Amino acid sequence: MCDATTKFEMVSLPVHRIKFCVRGQLDSAERECFALCFTQKNATDGALHQCHVFRCQVPETAGKVLLNFANAFRNSSTKKVPSPRLCCKSQPSSAHEETSSLEGAFGPDGEEDFQFDAFLEMREEDAKKGLTVCPQEKNCFKLRRDREKRVIVVLQQTHGRRVLTVRKCFGLLLGAGRNLRHNDMHLLDMQSMGRGNDSKTYIIEALWDPHLQNLEVLNTETPRETRVFMTIAADVILAGIDEPVRFNMECKARIFHEHERFWYVSRRPIVEKYFLTAGIVEEGMRSVNEANMKVVKFESVTERKRSLSRISLDRSPTKMPTQLIHPADEDESDSDEPLLSGSGVVDQECSDDVLSAWNKILLEWKTDPEGTVPEGLGDLIRNGVPDVLRGEVWRYLAKVQTDPDLTQAYRLLLGKECPSEQVILRDIHRTFPAHEYFKEAGGEGQESLYRISKAYSLYDEEVSYCQGLSFLAAALLLHMPEEQAFCTLVKIMFDYGLRDLFKLGLDVLHLRFYQLQRLTEDYVPDLFAHFYNLGVETHMYASQWFLTLFTAKFPLQMVYFIVDLFLSEGMNTIFHISLALLKASKKELLQLDFEGALKYFRIVLPRLYRAEANAKELIHKAVKLKISPRRLSKYEKEFYSLKERELESQDPLERMKRENLQLKETVMRLERENDDLAYELVTSKIELRKNLDNAEDSVESLQGQLERYMRTAKDLEDENNGLRTEYDQVKEMCRREVLRLELEGSRSQDIISNYKEICSDLSYRLEKQQDSFKVQRTRIAGVISNCEQCSIALTEFTDRVNGSPSKKLSSMEDGCDFKMIELMDKLEESEQRIRQLELSLAQAKLELVEAQCRNQDLSHQINASVSGDNDSSRHAAWLKKTISSIRDVGTSLKQPTHERRSRSQDIISNYKEICSDLSYRLEKQQDSFKVQRTRIAGVISNCEQCSIALTEFTDRVNGSPSKKLSSMEDGCDFKMIELMDKLEESEQRIRQLELSLAQAKLELVEAQCRNQDLSHQINASVSGDNDSSRHAAWLKKTISSIRDVGTSLKQPTHERSNISVSVDKY
């Protein structure tokens, strides 16, 4: 059947498996349909009967289909399928007997049958013995991982009228699994191939590298009771047959640790028998021996068994399977592999009514400190505890809350060393490998499981760690935290008596086996008799039931139900569940032999309870079984009485032989353990020696590095000491320089103060002389005031002196000397020129002061940039750069020092110039006074009376100033004197305003200079703070001391500004 759109094959049905086909009635609407019955046989679930109904678009097509089916069944060349009755009539004891019973089934005219045997053997590389044969048991090889292997295949013809020799082998293929495609096989490296002792034997040998990525599954350790399938194929060309023939061999393997040792196991090869039916091709046939043949059919005994098992009808299912579209040949999906522990899906859903009932129970439980079981708990447990509440319910059932010291003990035990650590680590990856939480190696689940197992082995020193504990601990870990799981495990082992099963001698475990055996005899007598006849003993199937509480083989949902019931009812739960399992499987077990029964317990029985409904049904059946404690006590007494009678009835010689045999087995076991320990000891010694050599090499290397580092540290220490010494020297030099500069500054201040006093004295004398000249001029005017002519001439002369040169002295022309007037005019022009030069000189001095301030600011900026560049290079060897920066700072400090010294010298020179200028002006003023008096004398020379009065006045001024000019005052005009005083006051006011203006300009320049100095000081302090945070404490002290030096050096700057103000004032 193919899909109509994609043309993809959905399912194919072999024609020979169609049991019945029919077409719909022709006179009805079903005439377009036809139906067929098809039987599919599954290896584990039995036969499946399927009925397929098809509808055709054209009614005639249904008839054509049935006609083609009829022609196919009438075809005479079709091989006759063996009858199920023939296959089921007898079971041959060996492959050869089975082959002989099936011979003759194929042999029409023109065809010939041949038989071949294929022997498969594997060898592993051993460091001591070379290549050793790998042991095998029940078609299962025992291999060790990470060891190079040789695969040897021997082909031998055992039956046939002619010999079909192997002409050529294309290669040996290996793959993990079975029913593999050609692409899934991996070609091995061929080592040798050729004929054996005769022409019927052909030997093929290939090399198997265990590290191949495609075969990684066959190089990974398998959990306990787990096997992996592998397929080996050989493609050969047989004589007389042109097409290649593939010999497929399927087997199982169990992968062990690299250093695993095997004792007393079979080392026989695996044998597979093949049947070849060849047809003779008539074209080109020259003789019988040279006839060309073709392969008509080629199959092995294993493939023939599968075909027969598909045809045989065991039972008819009560309902149709849910999957109708299923390939007919896909029934070999590892169905004979045991169910991995931890498999199965757990239902997380729960109704609100059930949750409310459980919450009520838990509330009562929490209020009772003794943990008394509430009423109605048993009925709820029989239906299963909700998975969301299972962890909390288990803790209350085990009464973990009554022993709070276990949690503290668990934490203390984790810090101790465990002697069973290696055994625990080996068993961890075998526990619940099908569950996601424990699947990852080294994951959280395996780590928690390791810690719990280790803690319990230390807590219970008598039992320590035994195989089986990890399964129960894993089930607890899935429902509660790690510490609570440990406490619950301890409670189960001690309070429920489970640890007694693990004690030395296992006497309690044998007692439980005897009790279960007697219960089986009482409740299932026919099954007990069947087991007795087969030799199936109780410990063969029930040992894991008791030791692991059914957690090792059964699905998780059933495991949880059993643990619920066990924590509620106690140890008797195991008997209830065991009897329920035996009663439910009685029908199937009665039909099986010894191996079939054990395989049923190991593989089939756990698979029956993957559905939750089946598990609940089993729990309900187990609860309904009535097993009284009195009966179990009776069986216990019988067991101990049998043990006593056995000891009494034993022949001493037989007892000694048995004890001797046990001692021999113990000796052999101890010898094996001794060999293992010796091998581990040698391996550990080699490993320790290797580690010791590596450690010695590391010690030598580290010692060399230590010596180099010590030398480097010594060099750095010497260099550090040198830098500290240099730092002390630089610091001392800075202090000396600061003291010297302070002395120079104080000396300069003394000089400047002296110059200030001189300048103030000269200024006072100049002003006083000017006032004296004004008084004399006034008195002269009063002396000559009685003479009209001289008064007019003196007034015109005064006007010319005060700035009225344009007026003509017409009144003086008649009575004054014109030569004298020309001289007075020239003198006025020179005085005006002198005033202009004085003004220009004052402006030049102002510009000089401004230029000096700008130069000083530029020098500060340059020094700051240089210090910034020095700071930016302090990363690689910061200590050296620190000292170099200190040197740069010293240099930068010296440079402003020279500038301060030059500035002080400039100020002193300015004061010198000012003093000389004031002296010059004073002398010039005196000369001017003399010239004016001479001019006044010349003006009034024509008047004899005024000349005599002026002479007397002059004599009094020069020699006798104390005399009064009474004679002159009476003859002078007082009105002229008042006018001249007003004129002098106005000129003095003008000069005072000009001086005030110049002083304001100087103060403005001084303010600008002071602002610039303050901004530089702020920037320098900020950069100093940032740089000071990068170094050690002693470097911070160094920079702070340098700051102090800088502060002491900055103090003269403010004095310089004050000096500039004084200079500008003068």
Helix runs in 816-940, H state only: 818-871, 878-939
Shared domain check, 138 and 37: no
pLDDT band at 150 (very low <50, low <70, confident <90, very high): very high
Q: Which residue has the tokens 């400090």?
A: 893
Tens digits of per-residue pLDDT, 422-452?
888 888 888 888 888 888 888 888 999 999 9
* β-strand pairing of 18-23 with 270-280: unpaired
Tens digits of per-residue pLDDT, 923-979?
777 777 777 777 777 767 677 777 777 777 666 655 544 333 333 334 334 444 454
Residue 115 CB neighbour total at 10 angstroms: 18
CA end-to-end span of the chain:
126
Range of the domain at 884: 726-1064
Shared domain check, 104 and 200: yes
The CA–CA distances, whole Å, from 171 to 122, 136, 230, 266, 385 equal 16, 24, 17, 28, 59
Give residue 46's pLDDT. 53
Shared domain check, 898 and 929: yes
The CA–CA distances, whole Å, from 688 to 128, 685, 692, 1055 equal 21, 5, 6, 83
Domain boundary among 311, 329, 364: 311
Instruction: Indicate whether 493 belongs to any domain.
Output: no
Separation of alpha carbons 640 and 635, rounded Å:
9
797 token code pair:
């002369």
Give residue 692's pLDDT. 93
Shared domain check, 907 and 815: yes
Tens digits of per-residue pLDDT, 831-889?
666 566 566 556 656 666 665 666 566 556 556 544 554 544 444 455 455 555 555 54
Burial of 810 (0-12, 13-18, 19+ CB in 10 A): exposed
Q: How many percent of the chain have pLDDT more than 90? A: 19
Give residue 1025's pLDDT. 46
Give residue 1032's pLDDT. 43
Nearest 5°: phi and psi at 837?
Answer: -65, -40
Q: Answer whether 586's CB lies under 8 Å from 526's CB.
A: yes
Q: At residue 236, does pLDDT exceed 60?
A: yes
Instruction: Indicate whether 342 belongs to any domain.
Output: no
- Domain holding 35: CATH number? 2.30.29.30
Tens digits of per-residue pLDDT, 1021-1054?
445 444 444 444 444 455 555 555 445 444 443 4
Instruction: Indicate whether 526 belongs to any domain.
Output: no
pLDDT band at 896 (very low <50, low <70, confident <90, very high): very low
Q: Which residue has the tokens 């009514």?
A: 353
Domain count, the chain: 3
Shared domain check, 25 and 152: no
Top-confidence range, 256-265, 645-654, 676-685, 975-984: 676-685
* H or E stretch at 540: helix 538-548
Amino acid identity of 238?
L
Instruction: Indicate whether 864 belongs to any domain.
Output: yes
Helix (H, G, I), strand (E, B) or coil at 466: coil
Q: What is the DSSP letter of 178?
A: S
Greater confidence (369 vs 242) lies with 242
Q: Mean pLDDT over residues 268-294, rounded?
A: 71
Give residue 855's pLDDT. 59
HSE-CB of 715 using CA atoms within 13 angstroms: 6
Q: Indicate the angle between helix axes 878-939 and 944-958, nearest 10 degrees.
A: 140
Q: Mean pLDDT over residues 511-518, rounded?
A: 93
Domain boundary among 311, 336, 361: 311
Greater confidence (187 vs 97) lies with 187
Separation of alpha carbons 166 and 153, rounded Å:
13
Shared domain check, 869 and 994: yes
Shared domain check, 157 and 38: no
Q: At residue 36, does pLDDT exceed 80?
A: yes
HSE-CB of 499 using CA atoms within 13 angstroms: 16
HSE-CB of 691 using CA atoms within 13 angstroms: 6
Separation of alpha carbons 888 and 486, rounded Å:
73
Closest CA to 785 of 968, 979, 984: 968
Separation of alpha carbons 797 and 813, rounded Å:
12
Give residue 846's pLDDT. 62
pLDDT band at 654 (very low <50, low <70, confident <90, very high): confident
Helix (H, G, I), strand (E, B) or coil at 276: strand
579 token code pair:
């009897």
Nearest 5°: phi and psi at 435?
Answer: -95, 140
Shared domain check, 292 and 178: yes
Least confident of 101-110, 271-280, 286-295: 101-110
Q: What is the dihedral of CA 823, 825, 829, 835, to 10 degrees?
A: 100
Shared domain check, 55 and 142: no
Shared domain check, 256 and 111: yes
Q: Answer whether 576's CB lies under 8 Å from 525's CB.
A: no
Q: At residue 905, does pLDDT exceed 80?
A: no
Shared domain check, 874 and 741: yes
Instruction: Indicate whether 969 belongs to any domain.
Output: yes
Separation of alpha carbons 398 and 408, rounded Å:
18
Q: Which residue(s) pair with 153 in the sheet?
A: 120, 204
Tens digits of per-residue pLDDT, 595-614?
888 989 988 999 899 888 89
Top-confidence range, 201-215, 303-317, 806-820: 201-215
pTM of the model: 0.39
Instruction: Indicate whether 514 belongs to any domain.
Output: no
Q: Indicate the angle between helix axes 652-783 and 878-939, nearest 10 degrees.
A: 10
Tens digits of per-residue pLDDT, 782-834?
777 777 777 777 777 666 655 543 343 333 333 334 444 554 555 556 566 65
Instruction: Indicate whether 593 belongs to any domain.
Output: no
DSSP strands (E only) in 79-200? 111-126, 130-133, 140-144, 149-159, 166-176, 186-187, 189-195
Sequential DSSP letters for 876-892: SSHHHHHHHHHHHHHHH
Shared domain check, 949 and 800: yes
pLDDT band at 580 (very low <50, low <70, confident <90, very high): very high
Q: At residue 276, does pLDDT exceed 80?
A: yes
Give residue 78's pLDDT. 38
pLDDT band at 703 (very low <50, low <70, confident <90, very high): very high
Instruction: Indicate whether 778 belongs to any domain.
Output: yes
